[in-house]
A = this chain, B = another copy of it.
Amino acid sequence: MADLIERLLDGLPADAVLTDPDVTRAYAGDMAGFCPPGEPAVVVLPRTVEQVQHVMRTATATRTPVVPQGARTGLSGGANASDGCIVLSLLRMDRILEVDPVERIAVVEPGVVNAALSRAVAEHGLCYPPDPSSWEQCTIGGNIGTASGGLCCVKYGVTAEYVLGLEVVLADGRLLHTGRRTAKGVAGYDLTRLFVGSEGSLGVVVKAVLALRPRPPRTLVLAAEFPSARAAGDAVCRIMADGHTPAVLELMDRTTLRAVNDLTRMGLPETTEALLLAGFDTADPAGDLRAVALLCEAAGAVEVVPAEDAAESELLMKARRSALVALEAVKGTTMIDDVCVPRARLADMLDGVAAIAERHGLTIGVCAHAGDGNTHPTVCFDAADPEESARARLSFDEIMALGLELGGTITGEHGVGVLKKEWLAREIGPVGIELQRGVKEVFDPLGLLNPGKLF
């Protein structure tokens, strides 16, 4: 252990190596429930690629596990320390190296915060679409690690669509370049995309070339109130089948609406079973909203209220973005599921979750990226109550089982981490697991990178 620290200090400044347990403990875990992290041996905060290489060489020489970390906003335990590991935090590698409006790319270090990048590229009239609700905290490295989504995916896709090339420090400290800076490129296997969503288990991302888009016009949103989950799900299907491409299509159930009101005093309607927010950033958003309003009414909406302007729209989006935090306030603790189902099964998913909540006597609020079928059933419970916690955990798993039954996936955007390890095997089957393990071994034969995650 003393030896490990000494070796690390050979290539890192003293202020980049933290060993005080009170300090290192603060880096131990991400935001996931039910997966207590281990105790790291040390936290390192490199500033350069060479320093990251030094850390990995040291880890390989001493056979010490390494847990790469961004802002630890992850919801699956993917950034959790294991006992005796090196926590490799990329937070200090936070420079935006380049923004190029002609190539429509940004080149960034992994510790750049998502919102910081968004603001920087906005100055050039550009946007970086992936927008997880945690965007003010989470880092691009973490977004790549988890293949993050967000609100605008229904129109603009997820992180995987925006990563063109990477620099990655491998487990043995070597530097790998993948992908390209050009708009297109197919030279060899797509290792870039293999890293996206690999949860720090194949290498440490130290630089990324990201695709940007022109900044769209501001989004105009409507809110539609539905008397049932089924009616709201039906509206989503009608909107998508009718050829619309909303920039957001989000859903909040009654439990979530109430929680948001309690937190924000926003006065959202609480008598409705499901509120749908549909937004357009097109040339004629008002026209698109009118068409969608008709479809919502045809599906049984009892009230459809278009926002007056972009400011009112932003307020509605703020309500949606605060959903998780609001639900957390209900009972102190939440477990946020992330099941993505075919759109046509959205209503079945919502009804099924309601049944699970009732069976276990629990409060489960659902918000969803409804346009993608990506639901976040959020189990609210009192972590100090072991019996309620056990029920919460049970319902969390039942929700995943329900998602698989409906033809969905256990994770639309939050990743597998520790929390869903057993479930990954259920979803992808033994052949898939065997090949994934094989891929892991190619990149990390000693199994040092983020051990115990994914499989």
Contact A102 B237 (CB under 8 A): yes
Closest chain B residue to A427, Cβ basis: B187
> A64 an interface residue at 8 Å Cβ cutoff?
no
Known contacts A189-B197, A344-B103, A416-B188: A374-B431 contact under CB 8 Å: no
- Considering the complex, which residues of chain A in the window 76-105 have a beta carbon less than 8 Å from any beta carbon of chain B? 101-104
Known contacts A284-B283, A432-B191, A442-B442: A186-B245 contact under CB 8 Å: no
Which of A193, A215, A429 has the most chain B CB atoms inside 10 A of its CB? A193
> A2 an interface residue at 8 Å Cβ cutoff?
no
Closest chain B residue to A180, Cβ basis: B409
Interface window among A21-29, A153-161, A323-331: A153-161
Q: Across the interface, which residues of B come within 8 angstroms of A454, CB to CB?
A: 188
Q: Across the interface, which residues of B come within 8 angstroms of A170, CB to CB?
A: 431
Interface window among A256-264, A335-343, A389-397: A335-343
Closest chain B residue to A172, Cβ basis: B431
Tier of interface size on chain A: 35 or more
- Considering the complex, which residues of chain A in the window 166-222 have a beta carbon less than 8 Å from any beta carbon of chain B? 170, 174-178, 180-191, 193-194, 196-198, 202, 213-215
- Considering the complex, which residues of chain A in the window 269-316 have a beta carbon less than 8 Å from any beta carbon of chain B? 282-284
Closest chain B residue to A243, Cβ basis: B214
Contact A102 B241 (CB under 8 A): yes
Q: Across the interface, which residues of B come within 8 angstroms of A198, CB to CB?
A: 189
Q: What is the minimal beta-carbon distance from A340 to any residue of chain B, in angstroms?
A: 4
CA of A28 to CA of B157, assembled, Å: 39
Which of A176, A438, A439 has the most chain B CB atoms inside 10 A of its CB? A439
> A253 an interface residue at 8 Å Cβ cutoff?
no
Known contacts A158-B184, A245-B214: A176-B432 contact under CB 8 Å: yes
Q: Across the interface, which residues of B come within 8 angstroms of A178, CB to CB?
A: 428, 432
Contact B183 A154 (CB under 8 A): yes
Closest chain B residue to A415, Cβ basis: B186
> A408 an interface residue at 8 Å Cβ cutoff?
yes
Q: Across the interface, which residues of B come within 8 angstroms of A341, CB to CB?
A: 182
Contact B344 A184 (CB under 8 A): no
Contact B184 A407 (CB under 8 A): no
Known contacts A182-B409, A340-B180: A241-B187 contact under CB 8 Å: no
Q: List 27 A-B contacts (CB under 8 A).
A: A102-B237, A125-B243, A147-B190, A154-B183, A160-B190, A174-B431, A177-B432, A178-B432, A181-B407, A182-B341, A182-B342, A183-B340, A183-B343, A184-B373, A184-B413, A185-B411, A187-B416, A187-B420, A188-B416, A188-B433, A189-B436, A189-B440, A190-B193, A193-B194, A194-B194, A214-B244, A283-B284
**The 5 residue pairs across chains A and B that have the minimum distance between CB atoms:** A438-B442, A214-B243, A193-B193, A183-B372, A185-B409
